[in-house]
Structure formats: C-alpha cells, structure tokens
C-alpha cells in the first residue's frame, strides 16, 4: 500500500505568478511523458517481473514518480493561485481556466486529457524495461524544453532537479536490463 | 489536554526532506546492487538519523505521518500548511 508523507521530495517554489508558464508545465502533470504517466507505467509493470531487482526498481521508481506528480502539482498551484481572472484571460492558461478554474487537472500543454494510451505494460520484461529507458530520456528532453521556457530561478531549480532524476532512473533501468539478460541466459 | 502550539519548523522540515532524499537514492541504488555493503551502511546510518528527526518534528511541530502514535487533540493531521502551501525560500 501507499502512505503519504506530509512533505515534498524537493522544496518546489516559484519566484512569481506565471499562468503562461503553468499552461506549459502542465504537460508534466498529465501529458505523454509526464509524471503521472511514468508512475502508472511502472506501477502497472511491476507485478509480472521475473527477478526481485526488477520488481523492487519498478516499485521504488513508480513511487518516486508519484512524488514528482506532487512536485509538478505544487508548481502549477503556486504559479496560478490568487491570480485574478482578468489577468488569466490574457494568458495561455485561459482555456484551462474556462474548464477547470485554477484547479489542477492531468492534461498536456494543449489541454488534451491524460490517457493510459501514453504508455505500455508488457509481460515481456525486456520490452517493458526498454520502453522505460526511452520514457526516461523523453521526460529528460521535455524538462530541457521547459527549462528553455522560463527565467524564474526557483522554477529552474525544481525542473533541473526533476531532469536529473530522469537520468538516475535511466541508469537504474539500464542496470535492471543487464540483470534481466543475465537471468535469461541462465534460465532460457 | 490543552492544545499544544504546533508550528511549522522550516529548517527542521528541510533537514528531514534532505535525509528523505538520501533514502530515495540509497534505496534505488541498493535495489540493483543488493550486495553493496558500503551503500547499505550509508542507508542504515541515514535512515536512523531520518527517524530521529521525524520523531522530533512530530513531537513538537505536527504530524508528517498520519499513524504517529501520539497525535495531538484536536486531530492535528489536518493542520495547514500542506506541502504545496509552504514557501520554502522565504
Ligand atoms: Fe523518472
């Protein structure tokens, strides 16, 4: 089961309100390479993994991605909370506001809702772990695109932290892939 | 019993967050290197310190886990601020 710890994995802050930026960062809340997608991908795949290292890695990284979902949710909340509607009206955040107000909703930066069609969960462990390595690289790339979109030093710190985590996850999945090949060689 | 004046302690909370992050890292590493004694020792040392800090925080500043065995009356798990409401660099 999961238990909530009443603190963030990283102290996510913003220096100033910025609804335009929120509309872009939203893609890491509910877009194809976003944190919700990553979390559900790994937490769906873990059950049928053949070796304990793979089960544990998917369980731990899937859990960490949920903490990243919360970090992105925090950024979005801080970027738009208290901004008056007539200011929001002039921003890219206006279409979101028209549907949901200032509440967070898992969607991409164009407002397309989250779907599990964003990811795959295969019984074949090589297929799944290889998918995950690509997913981590795609998420890293998206964080780099987003880093190009802002000059807010607090937002930059947070996005840079999340970008680094994708690199660590890629590394760990690479180790799991090697362990899976060893296992398949031993028990073909 | 009179209500204790629980209050956010940001430096202590940030220290807990830092120790929690070390734990995230040691767990991920150990999952694929279960026989690495050096990181296992680091993990155990850090986790011990983490639990001491958590205990200090929950005794004096409010709940971080809802199953803390000495929760405050009235039920203080609901106390604000929630993690997304804190200004960490104020
Ligand atoms: Fe990741």
Nearest-neighbour CA in chain B from A34: distance (Å): 19
pLDDT, position B84: 98
Q: How would residue A188 be classed by pLDDT, with cut points 50, 70 and 90?
A: confident
Using an 8 Å CB-CB cutoff, list chain B residues near A173. Answer: none
Q: Which of B11, B8, B12, B46 is nearest to B27 (CA)?
A: B46
Phi then psi for residue A107, to 5 deg, are -150, 165
ipTM attached to this prediction:
0.96
Using an 8 Å CB-CB cutoff, list chain A residues near B28. Answer: 57, 60-61, 64, 168-169, 172
DSSP string, A146-181: HHTT---HHHHHHHHHHHHHHHHHHHHHHHHHHHHH
B61 pLDDT higher than 80: yes
Q: Does B28 lie at the interface with A, CB-CB under 8 angstroms?
A: yes
Using an 8 Å CB-CB cutoff, list chain A residues near B43. Answer: none
For A77, what's the count of Cα atoms within 13 Å in the CB-facing half-sphere? 14
The CATH-assigned architecture of domain A19-99+122-186 is Up-down Bundle (1.20)
Question: Domain segments of chain A: what residues?
Answer: 19-99+122-186
Summarize the confidence of residues B62-74 as an average pLDDT.
93
Note residues around ion ligand 1 (Cβ under 5 angstroms).
A 166, 169
Q: Which helix (H) or strand (E) holds B32?
A: helix B10-32
B90 pLDDT higher than 70: no
């Amino acid at each position: 089961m999961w238990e909530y710890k009443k603190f963030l994995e990283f102290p996510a802050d913003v220096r100033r309100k910025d609804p335009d930026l929120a509309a872009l960062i939203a893609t890491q809340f509910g877009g194809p390479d976003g944190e919700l997608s990553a979390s559900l991908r790994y937490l769906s795949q873990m059950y049928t993994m053949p070796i304990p290292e793979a089960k544990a890695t998917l369980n731990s990284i899937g859990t960490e991605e949920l903490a990243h979902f919360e970090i992105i949710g925090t950024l979005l909340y801080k970027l738009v909370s208290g901004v008056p509607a007539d200011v929001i009206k002039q921003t890219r955040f206006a279409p979101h506001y028209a549907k949901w107000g200032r509440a967070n909703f898992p969607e991409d930066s164009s407002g397309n809702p989250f779907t599990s069609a964003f990811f795959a969960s295969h019984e074949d462990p090589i297929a799944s772990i290889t998918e995950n390595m690509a997913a981590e690289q795609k998420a890293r790339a998206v964080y780099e695109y987003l880093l190009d979109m802002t000059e807010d030093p607090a937002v930059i710190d947070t996005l840079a932290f999340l970008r680094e985590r994708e690199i660590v996850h890629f590394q760990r999945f690479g180790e799991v892939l090697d362990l899976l090949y060893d296992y398949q060689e031993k028990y073909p | 019993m009179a209500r204790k004046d629980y209050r956010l302690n940001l430096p202590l909370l940030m220290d807990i967050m830092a120790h929690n992050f070390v734990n995230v890292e040691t767990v991920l590493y150990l999952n694929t290197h279960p026989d690495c004694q050096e990181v296992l020792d680091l993990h155990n040392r850090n986790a011990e310190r983490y639990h001491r800090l958590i205990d200090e925080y929950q005794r004096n500043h409010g709940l971080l886990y809802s199953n803390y065995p000495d929760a405050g009356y009235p039920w203080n798990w609901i106390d604000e601020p929630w993690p997304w409401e804190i200004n960490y660099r104020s």
